[in-house]
Every structure is written in C-alpha cells, then in structure tokens.
Amino acid sequence: MRFSTTLLLTAVPLAAYAAPLRMTKRQVAAIDVTVLQFANTLEQLESQFYAAGLSKFQDSDFEAAGFGVSSVAIQQITNIQSDEATHASVLEEELTALGQNPNSTCSFNFDSALTDVATMAATARVVENLGVMAYLGAASLLTDPQLLEAAGSILTVEARHQTILNVLSGSGTAIPSAFDLALTPSEVLAVASPFFSGSCDLGIPANPTLTVTNTGTISQGTSLTFSSTAINSSVDTSTLSCQMMIGGNPFSISLPYNQCVVPNTVNGPVAIYVTSDDNPLQSNVVNRASANNILAGPTVAFIDAQPETLGQMVRSSGTGTAAASSSTQTISPDVAASIISAQGTPSASGAAATDTSAASATDSASAAASTSNSVNDSSDPSAPFRDDFTGLAPGGAINVVGWSNIPSN
C-alpha cells in the first residue's frame, strides 16, 4: 500500500514537533548529562522567578513602576515564563529518556528580587542574560551533536527574551552589542547561587559570589565597591584587580581594585570579577576556564548609557503619574522627528533637564512643554523627550508623527 507524503506527515503526532529534543534512551557522555541537569536547574529558576512575580504583582504595581500600559509588560513576561517552563519540561523529558533523574534538588528564594515591579524587571534582565551566557558557555562542553543543536535552539530564544527585557527596562539598549558573553558553569553559579534556598549540588563547584555594594544606579564613571566571602580582612586589596568583561572585547578591562571605575565606553551587560593580579581575563570561555587568578565573581551589571526611544515609549522612569494623564498631546513634526531619530548618549544635564531648557526649543516645542507631557529642547540630543511623556488621551490614543489610536489598555 502506498501512502502520500502528506498523509504520512499528518499521521505524525504534533507533539513530536513541540521541541528539538526527542531522543531515545541511549548512552551519552557524562559531561553531556551534567550540562543537561545544569540547564534544567537554570530553566526552573527562570520559570519559577517569572511565575512568582506574575502571581504577586497586579496591574497597578506595573503602572507604579512606570508602565503606562501595564498589559504590555505583563503579556511579554507571561510569554517569557511560558517559554522557560517549556524548556524545563523538555529537558526533564530528555533526562528521563537518558535514564537520569530529571528532578532538580535545588529550591529557590526570590524574596529580595520581588520587592516591587522595578526590582523584578531589573533582576529579570540579569536572570535572562545569565541564561544566554550559560548556554553559550556550555556549547564547548557538549559532545553530542543533537544536544548541541537543541541547546542552540534554546539559546536563540533566551537572547530574544533578553532583548524584550532590555526594552521593558525603559533605559537600556535593545541590542547593546554585536556579541554576547559566555560564562563557565562555575561562573554562572556565582551569579545564580544567591537565588538558591539551601544546598544545590549540581556536581559543579561555584565561584565565590561577588556583590556590588554601591547604592543607586551604576553608570559610566561610577566607582564600584564590593563584598565577597573571598575578600576578607586577611586579603591585601592593594594587590587585587577588578576585571570588566563586555561583549566583543577579546580581553577584560583590568583596573586596580580600589579604583574600579566604570569606563565611558561600557554600555549594556558587563561581567565583573575580582582577581588576585592585574592579568586580563580572556573573553573566550575555553581559554578562560584555566584561569587561576579569579578570586570572586563574576557579578553581572547593566550599564544603560544609551537609552532608546522604543524603551522610553514603553516605560517612563516615573511612579505611574504619567499613566494617569488625561490629556492628548499632539506635537509638531519637527519635535516628533527629533524624538524618533535621537539616539544620543544621555548625560547628567540631559537627565536633569527642566522646563527652562524646554522653553529654549522651537515655539511648537515650547507649547508642548506647557503641559505635564512636555517635550525637552530638541537641540539637546541627550534628552529626546521627558520621562513623563505618554501622549495618552481619555480615549486611550497617542498622536506622534501620524501614529494614532494606540490603546492605553
């Protein structure tokens, strides 16, 4: 009996296409099993983190964090959580198929990361970027081509999540670099271990955790201070260095420990280490795996030096008052064009721009500045528009260069 290709395809269960991994029970290298178990734990961490945040916070909490349209953030975070749960479920199935125990022995505590939506959103960027770094770093460890392909298919989705969260930050660059960073499993655990509740034995030693003790936003020019169990009173900090690793650099930026100032060239995620000497770390994770001068870290920080219009349209830096605006703000084409095209690096003067600076703009811009939804001086490229601008009308519409009827809820 002959069957058409179409008939054969329809006979295949759709679930077979639900994930890249559908392996029969077979022998794989021990390192491959370790990587799968490690990835499964990270996926569970991510999934449970987002689920806890979505369960705890309401629309009003997102509005208070600056999301004029709370459903934008909630929808995206819900989608991300669903992806992470799917990743964890598939990894568990594959561990079972390989005759391994799929149940993670690790439990998590997110209390300090879920104090409010702003803290959750900031932590989400670190958690998601950690996923990207972990999968990228594990690629060189996998020996099974099928597992490598499957891990790659998850990595690309994690990177998309990272871009969305950069936009939702309201202050970050959607794609801050042409290259991502890779971390070794021990380095990943240095970042992830503060989320573990109790012991979590993955068969991989964790680097000592490094914490940045500065309060407030870390930006270019910030002098960083640290704490770590590895940096105690017996350690001569004058001999230590801080190392900053950024995407695309072949080596880390090495600075004296007590003069660890964020350079003005850094934008986006940075992995920060403390080392016992000033020898730069190699960006290549295979070469860095043999480094013997890492004392603590890394920790991951985001340096948001180049905020973009898209993120600022999604989220303001206010406390929700912008979302409650009851007036329509239609701005002139010239000023609107400056909003769309401005991509300059923000400066202290731009961040502190006032209605006085707005008054020096064109007459139309000055008229727009007369309301709470005012626009900054278009001649100042570092301040494309005020954080409290939403343009929301009673009917929920916005008018910017022909864009209209964008619902507010």
Burial class of residue 326, CB neighbours in 10 A (0-12, 13-18, 19+): exposed
Phi and psi dihedrals of 247, rounded to 5? -60, 135
Identify the pLDDT of residue 27. 77
Identify the pLDDT of residue 331. 45
How does the average pLDDT of the chain come out, rounded? Answer: 79
Burial class of residue 146, CB neighbours in 10 A (0-12, 13-18, 19+): middle
> How far are the Cα atoms of 100, 157, 193, 240 from residue 201, in angstroms, in the given order?
15, 27, 11, 30
Identify the pLDDT of residue 389. 33
Q: How many residues does the chain have?
A: 409
Residues 213-236 have pLDDT tens digits of: 998 899 999 999 999 999 999 999
Burial class of residue 394, CB neighbours in 10 A (0-12, 13-18, 19+): exposed
Q: What is the pTM of this model?
A: 0.73
Identify the pLDDT of residue 212. 96
Q: H or E element: which one contains 80?
A: helix 70-97
Using the structure block, give the residue that is written with the tokens 């790659």. 152
Identify the pLDDT of residue 198. 85
Question: What is the mean pLDDT of each successive set of 10 residues along the chain, which is 409 residues long?
Answer: 38 43 68 94 96 97 96 97 97 90 86 96 97 96 94 97 97 96 96 91 92 93 96 94 96 97 96 97 93 96 96 74 35 50 44 41 40 39 36 38 38
Identify the pLDDT of residue 105. 76
Q: Please write down the long-range contacts of 349-357, taking CB distance under 8 Å and 24 or more positions apart.
A: 349/380, 349/382, 350/376, 350/380, 350/382, 350/383, 351/383, 353/377, 353/380, 353/383, 353/386, 357/383
* In contact, 196 and 107? CB cutoff 8 Å: yes
Identify the pLDDT of residue 199. 82
